[in-house]
């Protein structure tokens, strides 16, 4: 098993795709058996898809990233990046379906199509890699688990654009979508190891959701959610009565829910408050239910700037893997975290490269993150980071 990454900041999409693909093929010594493509809204998704399909890319999975893409060569603003895997002894497949009115059924359809594409009917993959349009990620995870059960790691990130304007996309060889779920199933000849964490710590402020609707928390402990959140954060929401977008104000103060852990070390799924409504409800990028116990989480600039490399190191440590065995890696970083530490991105890329022993990797900046916690729970969250390494055996 070999991997390679390549990138281009050429503005012409066809030229960028051709240059990056040629570099991947040269590094691999032949065409990839699976190709993951990341590009920003500076490149139209259909143009990226068409260029790579014309070049002969087969099992290819693409989506959009916020502002930049990242590889072991650094951070590439407005660019395009590819990550190829050449593994003749393995198998890889890709499928997609429009989310429509039933996102769970769409995910079931997509993962079934991916397994068929890999020509591994009846076999459970080692990893499912997922990209969905923002908004229905929990249902997509449920759909995949309905087909495969809960024990297969589901990892990936929601498609993103530069300004939350709906210009994100997902694509596979068969077409480009604005509101779909794209799924890859990986049956590599080696191993897959993954870690899913945040750079935030729990505070002592906590409460119970007493009213909620889909991705809006209306009340915490019987009090309007925005009032509670503003009190917990010491006044992080100026103008709370008027409502409005609070993404920037809430980046360092997400809401968390414990989803497991090891011993006394808890794992938390985070949700990023996005909008305060006139009724003082809080809209988020993830869902909560009545009865959920919430805890206010807190992050710092320093913690966010160093977390991605630590997640990479933890993925290898927890699996007992040395850097010499790493063939390559897939890195997902929340776009909100990225924007908060934008000045440190080149240093972050270098630190991740060092943590992976110099192995090729690709990184995307997403509007929602999906991953598998250390206890085996597949979850969707916000302000999260995942590192998934392909390991030679």
**Are 96 and 191 in the same domain?**
yes
DSSP state letter for 357: T
**Are 93 and 209 in the same domain?**
no
**Are 19 and 95 in the same domain?**
yes
**Are 231 and 263 in the same domain?**
yes
**Are 328 and 267 in the same domain?**
no
Give me the mean pLDDT over the 331-360 stretch: 97
**Are 153 and 12 in the same domain?**
yes
In the predicted structure, residue 263 carries a pLDDT above the cut 80: no
**Are 147 and 98 in the same domain?**
yes
Q: In whole angstroms, what is the distance from residue 172 CA to residue 181 CA?
A: 10
In the predicted structure, residue 110 carries a pLDDT above the cut 70: yes
Residue numbers of the domain that contains 18: 2-197+303-391
Where is the domain boundary, 298, 314, 346? 298
**Are 26 and 47 in the same domain?**
yes
- 256 φ/ψ angles, rounded to the nearest 5 degrees: -125, 155
Residue 124's CB is within 10 A of a number of other CB atoms, namely 14
Angle, vertex CA 24, rays to CA 349 and CA 75, nearest 5: 20
**Are 166 and 46 in the same domain?**
yes
The pLDDT tens digits for 149-169 are 999 999 999 999 999 999 999
* pLDDT of res. 266: 79
* pLDDT of res. 383: 96
In the predicted structure, residue 241 carries a pLDDT above the cut 60: no
What pTM does this model have? 0.95
Where is the domain boundary, 269, 298, 327? 298
Give the count of domains, the chain: 2
The pLDDT tens digits for 42-60 are 999 999 999 999 999 989 9
| Choice between 239 and 383, residue whose per-residue pLDDT is larger | 383
- Counting DSSP H helices and E strands in the chain, the numbers are 9, 27
**Are 58 and 144 in the same domain?**
yes
**Are 39 and 185 in the same domain?**
yes
Residue 138's CB is within 10 A of a number of other CB atoms, namely 18
Angle, vertex CA 353, rays to CA 349 and CA 357, nearest 5: 170
* Mean pLDDT of all residues belonging to the chain: 95
Where is the domain boundary, 298, 328, 363? 298
**Are 188 and 205 in the same domain?**
no
């Amino acid at each position: 098993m070999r991997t390679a990454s390549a990138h281009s900041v050429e503005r012409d999409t066809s030229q960028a795709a051709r240059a990056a693909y040629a570099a991947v093929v040269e590094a691999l010594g032949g065409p990839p058996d699976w190709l993951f493509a990341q590009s920003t809204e500076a490149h139209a998704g259909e143009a990226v898809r068409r260029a790579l399909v014309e070049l002969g890319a087969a099992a290819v999975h693409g989506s959009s990233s916020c502002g930049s893409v990242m590889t072991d060569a650094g951070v590439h603003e407005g660019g395009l990046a590819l990550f190829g895997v050449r593994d003749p002894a393995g198998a890889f497949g890709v499928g997609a379906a429009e989310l429509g009115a039933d996102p769970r059924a769409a995910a079931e359809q997509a993962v079934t199509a991916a397994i068929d594409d890999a020509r591994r009917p009846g076999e459970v993959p080692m990893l499912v890699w997922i990209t969905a349009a923002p908004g229905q990620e929990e249902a997509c995870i449920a759909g995949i688990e309905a087909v495969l059960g809960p024990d297969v790691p589901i990892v990936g990130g929601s498609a993103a654009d530069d300004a939350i304007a709906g210009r994100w996309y997902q694509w596979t060889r068969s077409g480009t979508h604005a509101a779909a779920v794209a799924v890859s199933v990986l049956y590599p000849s080696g191993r897959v190891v993954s870690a899913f964490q945040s750079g935030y710590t729990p505070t002592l402020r906590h409460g119970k959701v007493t009213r909620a609707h889909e991705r809006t928390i209306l009340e915490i402990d019987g009090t309007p959610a925005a009032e509670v959140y503003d009190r917990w954060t010491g006044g992080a929401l100026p103008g709370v009565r008027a409502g409005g977008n609070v993404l920037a104000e809430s980046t360092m103060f997400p809401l968390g829910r414990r989803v497991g852990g090891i011993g006394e070390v808890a794992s938390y799924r985070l949700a990023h408050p996005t909008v305060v409504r006139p009724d003082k409800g809080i809209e988020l990028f993830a869902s909560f239910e009545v009865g959920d116990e919430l805890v206010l989480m807190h992050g710092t600039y320093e913690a966010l700037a160093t977390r991605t490399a630590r997640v990479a190191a933890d993925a290898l440590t927890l699996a007992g893997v040395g850097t010499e065995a790493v063939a390559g890696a897939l890195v997902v970083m929340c776009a909100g975290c990225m924007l908060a530490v934008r000045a440190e991105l080149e240093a972050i890329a270098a630190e991740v490269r060092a943590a992976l022993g110099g192995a090729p990797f690709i990184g995307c900046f997403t509007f929602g993150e999906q991953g598998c916690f250390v206890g085996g729970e597949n979850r969707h969250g916000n302000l999260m980071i995942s590192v998934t390494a392909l390991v030679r055996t």
